[in-house]
Amino acid sequence: MTSESRDYIFVCTGPTCGERGGKLLLRAWKDSLVERGEWVTRRVVPVQCFGECATGPNVCVHPRGEFHAAVDAREAETVLERLVAAIDAPNPAE
């Protein structure tokens, strides 16, 4: 990853996902990345809706294009670790 590269984790914080833990995920992941010194290369960004409210909270990882539904806010740190590991793994499409 070059210094200009940046990974984004988009977290739905719309009405349904936000109530189901999207806002908690956003806050926990943002704090964790800052604490770990990874805020320069990874960002957590709120979005209003992915249109998949029934399966929320929902998360999308860019640039890999991975969509994750029903993300459990109680497992925020564990889920973040899995997302970061997937981001860091070689992309089979490349």
Q: Domain ranges for the chain, please list them.
A: 27-50+59-89
Mean pLDDT is lowest, of 10-14, 43-47, 61-65, for 61-65
What residues contact 46, with CB distance under 8 A and at least 6 apart?
10, 11, 12, 13, 22, 26
31 φ, ψ (degrees, to nearest 5): -60, -40
Residue 21 near residue 73, CB atoms below 8 Å: yes
| pLDDT at res. 61 | 92
Q: Say whether pLDDT at 4 is over 90.
A: no
Q: Which two tokens stand for residue 36?
A: 């770990």
Q: Say whether pLDDT at 2 is over 90.
A: no
Reduced to 3 states (helix: H, G, I; strand: E, B; else coil), residue 17 is: helix
pTM for the model: 0.86
Average pLDDT, the chain: 89
User: Which sign does the torsion angle of CA 70, 24, 9, 82 carry?
Assistant: negative
